[in-house]
Amino acid sequence: MSFDVPDAFRYLESHEWTTTDDPARIGITDFAQDELGDVVFVELPAVGDEIEAGSAFGVVESIKAVSDLYAPISGEVTAVNEDLFDQPELVNDDPFGDGWMLEVEPSDDAFDDLLSAEAYREQIT
């Protein structure tokens, strides 16, 4: 099976992605959603909360598993994808698009330590 890994994004080993925009969008990868199975619940921070790179910022649940979500970057949350509360399946259907989770105002050089698409692709194959 092959998984989507958009080239323009940056990744964490724990399968979160971030865009390199300002604000940066954050979500979980195609590989992660496939491992989890049908997502039934997503718990996210509120707008205004601070998240910290490497720390857990939320939780994603399938019926049989719970996973912490780790922040690829630090910063203040400027938007939360509220559609996920009613339609957690968006994470499965479109993990890099409608299944996004947060928007965060990144600090400078926030993206330096993250995996490139290529490096992440290597990790999951």
- Residue placing its CB nearer to other proteins in the complex, 50 or 61: 61
Distance CA 21, CA 37 (A): 29
Smallest distance from the beta carbon of 42 to other proteins, in angstroms?
11
Q: How far is the CB of 14 from other proteins (least distance, A)?
A: 17
Coil vs helix vs strand at 92: helix
Q: How far is the CB of 66 from other proteins (least distance, A)?
A: 5
Tokens of 59: 């939780």
Q: Is 122 helix (H, G, I), strand (E, B) or coil?
A: helix
CA dihedral (117, 118, 122, 125) positive or negative: positive
Closer of 66 and 119 to other proteins (Cβ) = 66
Residue numbers at the binding site for other proteins (CB under 8 A): 38, 40-41, 43, 61-66, 88-89
In whole angstroms, the minimum distance from the beta carbon of 107 to other proteins comes to 26
Q: Quick one: 47 or 66, whose CB is closer to other proteins? A: 66
The closest of 23, 35, 46 to 95, measured between CA atoms, is: 35
